[in-house]
Structure 1
Amino acid sequence: MPSEWTNVLRDANLLALDDDNFSEYGQRRATAEEWPQLVDLSYLGVLEVTGSDAESFLQAQLCNDFTQVAPTQAQITGYCTPKGRLLGLPVALMGDNAIFLIAPISVVEPLLKRLSMFVLRAEVRIKQRSDLLCLGLIAGDQSNLGQAGALLGKLPDTPLAVSQSEQSYLIRWHDDLTGSSVRTRYIHLASVAQQIDIWNASPELAKAPSANWQLADIAAGIPTITSEIAEQFVPQMINLQLIDALSFTKGCYPGQEIVARMQYLGKLKRQMRLFRFDNAELIPLPGEKVSTTDDSEAGVVVNAVGNADGEGLALVVVKKTMADQAMSVGNLELSPQNLPYSLADPAEECAT
């Protein structure tokens, strides 16, 4: 994390100093803040891909159809190992002269290393951009954003739409469904100095930890892959085909044969579901094993975050035959909840 941003978080009392309340994606318990909020997203890192072959190279490496990425449209995508297991789940963003891949810092270096192995003779350059920083905005509309709203510019209207201004990018993200009303979310990518200006521009905006963002992601059924769970799941296990993050019509990419076989010849036996827990003092970690009440192994935690009311939400990849049962992680009970999207596979529906 840039030292300048560390100082900003320290001044806002948002540095996670307690190891029990910290993970690879920042603080693990959301705070009760007024709206709108500026949210620390410094747990995210950025890769920059440039060169005349950058687009075709990424089309051959990522599991979603990169031809759908445009200067006005970002995309959730995945990078798989040859065995079809996800190493990372970046957001792809097209700039004027570069493509950016945004992912948790813990998987940025492994992604850089793996992608670089396949550049070969292609006109492609890949590097980490530590000078860029992500900042989150959770808001209802633009009318009450103060000076920060003026600095951010026009807010994109549709999911994953992008607006650009002066070397910064604003992505409309999936809505926050954790409150009594739906709130819109945005990811802002810019230099550290620009983000500090926005952070300080409107003192009336609440300042929130990354846990607020992660809690909203979990409620929306959007998984985060960190190093703790890298190479554990094929894309369908964490519902990528249900959130428009996986293509079955594009060309080959690492692990594509395994992913396609799972879709057309196999049967998905494990799938990500949403669970609630009542004790935010016992937040499960990504990768922890989940059991049913009779101690049968049922699945593994993907992400979990506590809320300000002492409860929490978790995304868990579970055996489909056990998905509706009460489960536990150690002494912490998990209660099944409904995801905000249908679990029916669009590809299967089209085939029937």
Structure 2
Amino acid sequence: MSPDLDIESLHKQLTASIATSAPLPYVRISFADSDAQEFLQGQLTLDLRQLDHSSHRVTAWCNAKGRVWAVLRIWRSDDGFEVLVPANQAEAFIKRMRMFVLRAQVSITPHTDVVQAHIGHGDRPDGALTTTSKTIVLHHGNDHRLIISAQPEAHDDNAQTRYQALRILNAEPHIDAQTQEKFLPQSLGLSELGGLHFNKGCYVGQEIVARVHYRGKAPQRLNFALNPSDETLQDKAVLRDIHTADTRLVQWVENIKN
């Protein structure tokens, strides 16, 4: 990123407007029953033993070659776990997960509730989880969050873009059906986000992910810029390209030069 780009000012613009909400294209999926934790522990990059009932975390599901198939957000429920999956990956994700269940006691259930971005002041730290009888709230610090409920709130279409921009500024990678199975979790910064653990035991793709880790260097890295030039974007794998607050914000994965 160029040193003359003012990331802090953009963050203030994104969060200074009046509180607003917008629906997001995510699907909530429940993993329940007695073997839910053991099953997911063998699928995801996160060590679920470190996830308590008052927090949510980002994690990933990889293919057998260690490439990220989906970036998920996960939290505990009373009878298992809940994950958020991009809507254009949800059906295929459920199908793939059911292929791995075999004899495990795990039920996998998609839900039709509404996932909304909410931009506005709050008083919870990043990663906090609060629930009521009607809503689930995943907090991203004190200025934006996800709200999951049966009924949508009144919304402003611009809130979706503002939320996406804030997640880019927080270095959260965007992977969907067009960019899945192309990048290692290290290349997407999942270790820095706390969504990739190396002492949790085996999971899909773990051998290759661990081999890259112990060699000490991933072949690619996540990056972003405000108003990048066409030259800057050459040879970059663009994950998200949005316009907000009169600014173009682009997230990409780039090769690391030796």
Scaled by the length of structure 2, the TM-score of the pair is 0.87
* Alignment-mate amino acid for residue 236 of structure 1: Q
How many residues get paired?
Answer: 246
Secondary structure at the counterpart of residue 136 of structure 1: strand
* Alignment-mate amino acid for residue 100 of structure 1: E
CA distance in 2, matches of 1:125, 1:274: 38
User: Structure 1: any 5+ residue segments left out of the alignment?
Assistant: 1-30, 142-154, 176-182, 280-289, 323-352
Q: Does 2:257 correspond to 1:298?
A: no
Match of 1:44 among 8, 14, 26: 26
Question: Could you report, residue by residue, the CA deviation over 1:81-110 in whole angstroms, capped at 9, with x for unpaired residues?
Answer: 000011111100222234211021011122
Q: Does 2:246 correspond to 1:265?
A: no
Superposition CA RMSD, Å: 2.4
Secondary structure at the counterpart of residue 210 of structure 1: helix
Secondary structure at the counterpart of residue 191 of structure 2: helix
Answer whether contact 1:218 1:304 (CA < 8 A) is retained.
no
* Alignment-mate amino acid for residue 144 of structure 2: R
* Percentage identity across paired residues of the two chains: 25
Answer whether contact 2:212 2:218 (CA < 8 A) is retained.
yes
Q: Does 2:121 correspond to 1:184?
A: no
Against the structure 1 CA distance between its residues 41 and 319, is the aligned structure 2 distance closer, same or farther, given a 3 Å change threshold?
A: same
CA distance in 1, matches of 2:20, 2:82: 22
CA distance in 1, matches of 2:72, 2:118: 19
CA distance in 1, matches of 2:80, 2:49: 15
Secondary structure at the counterpart of residue 55 of structure 1: helix
Once the two structures are superposed, the pairs formed by residues 329-344 of structure 1 within 5 Å of their partners are none
Shift of 1:308: 3.0
* Alignment-mate amino acid for residue 165 of structure 1: T
User: Structure 2: any 5+ residue segments left out of the alignment?
Assistant: 1-12
Secondary structure at the counterpart of residue 200 of structure 2: coil
Q: Does 2:183 correspond to 1:233?
A: yes
CA distance in 1, matches of 2:95, 2:130: 30
* Alignment-mate amino acid for residue 35 of structure 2: D
Match of 2:250 among 314, 326, 348: 314
Answer whether contact 2:173 2:239 (CA < 8 A) is retained.
yes
Once the two structures are superposed, the pairs formed by residues 112-131 of structure 1 within 5 Å of their partners are 112-130=94-112
State the partner residue of 2:206. 256
Answer whether contact 1:33 1:206 (CA < 8 A) is retained.
no
Larger Rg: 1
Match of 1:134 among 115, 118, 143: 115
Which structure exhibits the higher relative contact order, with contacts defined as CA atoms closer than 8 Å and separated by 6 or more residues? 2
Against the structure 1 CA distance between its residues 34 and 73, is the aligned structure 2 distance closer, same or farther, given a 3 Å change threshold?
A: closer
Shift of 1:211: 1.2
